[in-house]
Amino acid sequence: AATPMDLINYSHENGIVVEAFSPIAHGQALRSEAIQKMAAKYNVSAPQLSIRYDWQLDTVVLPKTSNPEHMKSNAELDFVISDEDMEILKQVKPLDYGDVSVFPVFGGKM
């Protein structure tokens, strides 16, 4: 699975706060057909879906952008991803993170 649920669950069970570092996958979420399709289902953008997904995983979400319009839309998360769709998103294959693929979580090694 792309989402390291073992690591997230372990952290939560041991009182460790998990940050969703780069919740839009360094922009790669915009290129994922599975994420785009799921975002369309909820009538939201891929970044909104990605941020909401991480939020529902009970992680700290810190999206980065210098674009005021993106900042505004990133905060518009007044929807809920169903449990069934959360499970589907957990299985999205790891994305190509380019240069940062060397990191364990991004490289699918965790």
How do the domains of the chain map onto residue ranges?
5-106
Q: Are 79 and 42 in contact (CB under 8 A)?
A: yes
Q: What is the mean pLDDT of residues 53-82?
A: 91
| 58 confidence band (pLDDT: 50, 70, 90) | very high
CB-based burial of residue 106 (10 Å sphere; 0-12 exposed, 13-18 middle, 19+ buried)? buried
Picking from 32, 28, 23, 49, the residue whose alpha carbon sits closest to that of residue 99 is 28
State both tokens at 44: 């939201």
Q: What is the mean pLDDT of residues 46-67?
A: 91
106 pLDDT higher than 60? no
Mean pLDDT of the chain: 85
Q: Mention every residue, 6+ apart, whose C-beta is less than 8 A from residue 83.
A: none
Architecture of domain 5-106: Alpha-Beta Barrel (3.20)
| 35 confidence band (pLDDT: 50, 70, 90) | very high
State both tokens at 36: 């785009």
In angstroms, the Cα distances linking 28 to 9, 13, 78, 83 are 24, 30, 23, 23
**pLDDT at residue number 3:** 83
1 pLDDT higher than 50? no
Q: Are 107 and 4 in contact (CB under 8 A)?
A: no
Q: What is the mean pLDDT of residues 54-77?
A: 89
91 pLDDT higher than 80? yes
